[in-house]
Structure 1
Amino acid sequence: MHQLIAAPFLERHVLVRPGSRGGALLPEPRYNELRALDPGEPAPPWLAGAITAQWPDLDVAHQLLGEFLLVRRPSPWGYGKASWEVNLGCNYKCKHCYLGLKMNSGMPWEDKRRCLDIMAEAGVVFLQITGGEPTIDKDFLRAYRYAWGLGMMITVSTNGSLLWKENLLRLFRECPPYRVTVSMYGAAKASYDELTRRDGAWDQFVQGMNAARHARLPLRMSIVVTDDNGHEEQAMVDLCTSWDVEYEVFTNMTPTIYGGGEVLTAQSKEHLRLRKTFTGCNAGHTFFHMDPHGLVSICKIGRDDQISLPHEGIQGLARLGAIADRLMLRTGGCSGCGIAGTCRVCRPLAKHYQEAKAPLEAYCQHGEKKAG
């Protein structure tokens, strides 16, 4: 079982370690040298030195390469990152959830495995497994382990309610994740259970966080601020600080992936914040998203013109860049806008807001001016 991964990543080559946030850049000749070496050979001195410099607790000087290192093959496709909704089902019914309907449906295991193989072939090094709640999926354990075995650095996005389960903790001990991102919906039982619409959700969250912290998982909190818990924003921040866990605060609600506006009622108007100017992204070019049925889109928001990975295989990804470029064009209510160059949301997200008939100030500078 590997402890380190050497892989092409975008236009560079990296040396990374599952469970560790750090890494090292590899000059291309060094990466090619590692590809050419036999797994039964000892680690070259330069590699052992680089590993000790980056990870002092890891001594490979007397180990064979195949005992600790997985060398990923180069890919002509150039996709370094991907996200995967393993399931839309969830054990919560959060008022603000952008996924809308919660359906426990997806692909059979063989199709999931094939899609993961295709992701690896496409060059994906960093994979986010999300949902719904991914840990309730019947195939989560083996899907995670299989992706990990392919040499992916995995982030799990979860509500944390099941992180106390021994089978999950064992999996993360044996196959360390790159990160476990936990959504936080309140700082007290009343607000947390109200937002998630599940009695006992707070208790399970605390149980999961206690177990995750004890296991020293690489945690990051996503603090979600809504109308129900807005008064607890600072308390949520303070709780993360007391746990010594990094966090990010999210205050702006978005419509569902179907363009529904029903979740926008969870928005705390007092906490609605101006987004930074959208300056473009690599969605569809170096990153893609896959839903539970193997349908690939440029990202979680821009789901038009999806590609079926199980049916089309890796060749289907050849169309993704053109789809991304088309979806980013200003159309509909945004065509001809004189200040589109300083818009704060991408075109696919603006389209969702328009379909949801959301207040203009929620996503557009024109609305901000009127509101002011």
Structure 2
Amino acid sequence: MTHAPQIKVPATYMRGGTSKGVFFRLQDLPQTAQLPGAARDALLLRVIGSPDPYGKQIDGMGGATSSTSKAVILARSSKEGHDVDYLFGQVAIDKAFVDWSGNCGNLSAAVGSFAISGGMVDPERIPENGIATVRIWQANIGKTIIAHVPITSGEVQETGEFALDGVTFPAAEVQLEFMDPAAAEDDGEGGSMFPTGHLIDDLDVPGIGTFKATMINAGIPTIFLNAADIGYTGTELQDAINRDAAALARFETIRAHGAVRMGLIKHVTEAARLQHTPKVAFVAPPAAYVSSSGKEVSSTDVDLLVRAMSMGKLHHAMMGTAAVAIGTAAAIPGTLVNLAAGGGSPSAVRFGHPSGTLRVGAQATFSNGEWSVCKAIMSRSARVLMEGWVRVPGDSF
């Protein structure tokens, strides 16, 4: 029997924020994978090592968590006023499925660096020393991200002293601005920032209960619940939830019904094909806890506590897009996030997550009876882990 040999595809393995992923330039992909469709999805699934019934992704680049089962495709931008088009794929671990429905805020921190190093930014816009501003078109959600990338001697600077909870070693700080992060009214069904029209709703989940919920579409569609209403304190670490199969099933049911209320799907049975969105998060007022690294977090260190689910599991830190949702909701008086943070109109909050704390800011305004947010700001870091070629069997896509 004849077997197809492996092919090699130019790729870079990068950390961005608290996530890792395989980065490609669109022009470097095999011809059949340069367009959206089955061939592209099959290629990325094989690169990452999915679907894997063992849940380990041993035969691929994935790390068997939602934070490490990711792929990014970049190209020179076709959008006026932008440098690079950024397309993100969340690769399922145990299913043959790539979710293109949302962005990855963490990997957004690596996009500017990769774009500069990959020759996708005009050299005249890159200083010899200083900060390069990379204008990113986030193609999944149709939004602009501005990355401020440090440059030393004409090259991207990756080393530094910026510490990010959830990442072991310090690196250079990359500031991100998520412009107009909330969905616009003309984005389609469920497209407004508050798709139900309310800051707080009663979300009825048959067989489980009715919960107060803030459902917001900013950064990524997110369903916020009060921790106490679902039996938690907001100080939980991953094992408290991820080892509880019944809890995971409850969260998935809540997510499915919330997705229907947000207009993202028409029936709960469709939630399985939209694994990346929406997210479910629960909030609580400040409290002391010990993070997953053993670091003590005092109640005075944070404005509120947030825990978030990603791809069916409690995230080890916080998704960047969910952080945008947190910052946006916190800035708007009357949301569950805002109330957990003590109310008022904060321009920035520091929240506690399983790995530590994170600060995120948002600029919210109220006009003509509606809230809007012009941008959300946070700092991340990014680093190249490996570059060269990734190999896959030639008949796998």
TM over 0.5: no
Name the structure, 1 or 2, with higher relative contact order (CA <8 Å, separation 6+): 2
Query: Taking structure 2 as the reference length, what is the TM-score of the superposition?
Result: 0.24
| Structure with greater helix share of residues | 1
Whose radius of gyration is greater, 1 or 2?
Answer: 1
